[in-house]
Amino acid sequence: MLLPADAAIGAVHLTIASLERSVGFYEGHLGFRTHQRSAATAALGAGGDDLLVLHESASAPRVTRTTGLYHFAILVPSRLELARSLQRLAGKRTPMQGFSDHGVSEAIYLADPDGNGIEVYRDRPRAEWPITDGRLRMVSEPLDIEDLLGEAQSGFEAAPAPWTGLAPETRIGHVHLHVSFLEDTAEFYRDLLGFTLTQRYGESALFFAAGDYHHHVGANVWAGVGAPRPPAGAIGLRHFEVRLPDQSSVDAVVSRVREAGRDVRLTGAGAALADPSGNQIMFSAPR
């Protein structure tokens, strides 16, 4: 059974070392707004739903070459907004990790102060998505940065508008995970949860989506085939949310997972489970 076509990625929950430092980075460099904040947590977004929830743990271990977050992806609503984000990042002298044209999208890559990977991207219109032999084919080509920055300059007839942060329509477009093995990852996300496998990237990465999107979840073995799980409480991904349209859709996922002999924990926030590599997922529906 497939997931509903309007399933979407909700908030991404991260463990970070310093709430003050991370909130300053996400607000000042990326344009998030803090919706709620306590002594050890902060919920951020673009003014609507929470998109990112930060959990402080000053003693959290930092690890590499494990399963967990590769990056989470902030989807801005237009090319102009992507250009404005790039201008802001450059103006703040934010270290960049890469720029790519994926055919379906244009993307900027960076990391937060704890090394959590971030993608900021805009989708091309679906009519422009590359199709080969009837199948979607994402690519990784160099991004034309000059042309992108020109979008910001041509987007204003007079002086550029002052930076006010992320546009209200911004959301989390996808998450990309380090996993141990691709085979059991495909069985879990495609055969059990009901995502569609949209593309294989050689023998190292898979991409899954609900509906006709290019991907909501990416998975790779770039941390090493058989990569171990991180220790409990480590810097990085705590869990990410998959939002379904109604409770019956969540119940259907819970039933399938339990019938397969896998654990599901029901909480006030939704149904919590883990993929075969230990990446935590929360399925939820509107209350």
Per-residue model confidence as pLDDT tens digits over 238-264: 999 999 999 999 999 999 999 999 999
Residue 152 has pLDDT above 80, yes or no: yes
Q: Is the entire prediction scored with pTM above 0.95?
A: yes
Position 153 confidence tier, pLDDT thresholds 50, 70, 90: confident
Task: Classify domain 8-155+163-284 by CATH number.
Answer: 3.10.180.10
Q: What is the mean pLDDT of residues 108-121?
A: 98
Do 175 and 12 contact (CB within 8 A), yes or no? yes
Residue 154 has pLDDT above 80, yes or no: no
Position 162 confidence tier, pLDDT thresholds 50, 70, 90: confident
Do 253 and 260 contact (CB within 8 A), yes or no? no
Q: What is the 3-state secondary structure (H, E, C) of the chain?
A: CCCCCCCEEEEEEEEECCHHHHHHHHHHCCCCEEEEECCCEEEEECCCCEEEEEEECCCCCCCCCCCEEEEEEEECCCHHHHHHHHHHHHHCCCCEEEEEECCCEEEEEEECCCCCEEEEEEECCHHHCCEECCEECCCCEECCHHHHHHHHHHCCCCCCCCCCCCCCCCEEEEEEEECCCHHHHHHHHHHHHCCEEEEEECCCEEEEECCCCCCCEEEECCCCCCCCCCCCCCCEEEEEEEECCCHHHHHHHHHHHHHCCCCCEEECCEEEEECCCCCEEEEECCC
- What's the CA gap between 66 and 286, in Å, rounded? 33
Domain ranges of the chain: 8-155+163-284
pLDDT of residue 69: 98
pLDDT of residue 158: 54
Position 161 confidence tier, pLDDT thresholds 50, 70, 90: confident
Burial 86-112 (b: 16+ CB within 10 A, else e): bbbbeeeebeeeeebbbbbbbbbbbeb
pLDDT of residue 167: 98
- What's the CA gap between 41 and 119, in Å, rounded? 22
Do 57 and 114 contact (CB within 8 A), yes or no? no
- Lowest-pLDDT choice from 61-70, 149-158, 208-217, 236-245: 149-158
Q: How far is CA 266 from CA 11, 22, 251, 257, 269, in A?
A: 18, 30, 10, 12, 8
253: which 2 tokens? 């996922």
Residue 79 has pLDDT above 60, yes or no: yes
